[in-house]
Amino acid sequence: MSRGHTRTVEVAVLVGCVLLALASVGYAVSGPASGTPYTEFSVLSPDGERLVADDYPTVGDDDGTVVVRTTNHEREQRAYTLVATAERVTVGAGAGDDDAPTVRERRELARETLLLADGETAAVRVDVLALGAMADAPNVRVVFSLYRGDASPGADGTDAYRSLHLWVNATDVGGG
């Protein structure tokens, strides 16, 4: 084999390796995302300019605002409905089966429809102290339910995609 022919083969192999490396990098960057798709859902309280997962409002506070943050990591656009509901509950011994809280009264505080692109975040402000007649009741929790698509009127959170809650006026929540 001549020296010129060997040189041509070496260059061809080198160019092939470079193209293969570029194709691999291109696939890694634009290929399917790794991990399981999910929706991030959190309740935060304002602390000056920041939002923190601490110091939530309780009855008697001047400001009852929390921020419910939803981030779509589902790899496609998603429609959600956020429903915030105040519930007066009985907790502890005698409340019902396995001492789970029993809802005695329910009042919808907020309902928002969200349309989020992949990676997009929505922040919805909710006044958790807009309790009306429940303001003086013991054992009030606010439930934040996130539904994929629409939520039926009077939705109670049982079929929610994600759900969080805060106690805003609780006496003996531990059930004593």
Residues 6+ apart with CB under 8 A from 86: 106, 107, 109, 128, 130, 131, 134, 140, 141, 142, 168
Topology of the domain comprising 38-169:
Immunoglobulin-like (2.60.40)
Q: How far apart are CA 76 and CA 37, in angstroms?
A: 9
- Under 8 Å between Cβ of 82 and 68: yes
Structure tokens at 99: 């001492």
Burial class (CB in 10 A: 0-12, 13-18, 19+), 16: exposed
**pLDDT tens across the length of the chain (176 residues):** 566 667 776 666 566 665 666 666 666 555 555 689 999 999 999 888 899 988 888 877 778 899 999 999 999 999 999 999 999 988 776 555 566 788 889 999 999 999 999 999 999 999 988 888 788 888 888 999 999 998 888 777 788 999 999 988 755 444 43
Report domain extents, the chain. 1-31, 38-169
pTM for the whole structure: 0.73
What's the pLDDT score for residue 174? 46
What's the pLDDT score for residue 40? 95
What's the pLDDT score for residue 175? 43
